[in-house]
Structure 1
């Protein structure tokens, strides 16, 4: 999360609201809705792309649905 914030220029709330449909690993971009519902296309830094792939491998299939949040809290991730 911190590397994504530091390298992309995302705002905190954009990161919290991020879903899988907004991430395009092939084009190395993230589409975010910012202030005033303005859409922005942000580049993904090369350092975070392998981190996304590793993170995706750890999630269950239903957590990768396009409308699911990328970053989960303890309750939704099943952690205790």
Structure 2
């Protein structure tokens, strides 16, 4: 089975990626910026997540792309 057969056309992949980005942004925007940064950093250090570099890079990119006035929701 080819990669395209398994995952669909390029546009579908792009659309799915954009949806995931929006959903992640919505989730991260609900929490205080310092809590989000600390959580992502701690998650990177947990040994079971050692192979999750792409997921953490994605989380950091989405978080850092949120405008400053859009960061900071509930403090936990």
> Could you state the TM-score of these two structures normalised by the residue count of structure 2?
0.34
**Is the radius of gyration larger for structure 1 or structure 2?**
2
Q: Which has the higher helix share?
A: 2
> Could you state the TM-score of these two structures normalised by the residue count of structure 1?
0.33
Identify the structure with bigger relative contact order (alpha carbons < 8 Å, sequence gap 6+). 2
Q: Which has the higher strand share?
A: 1
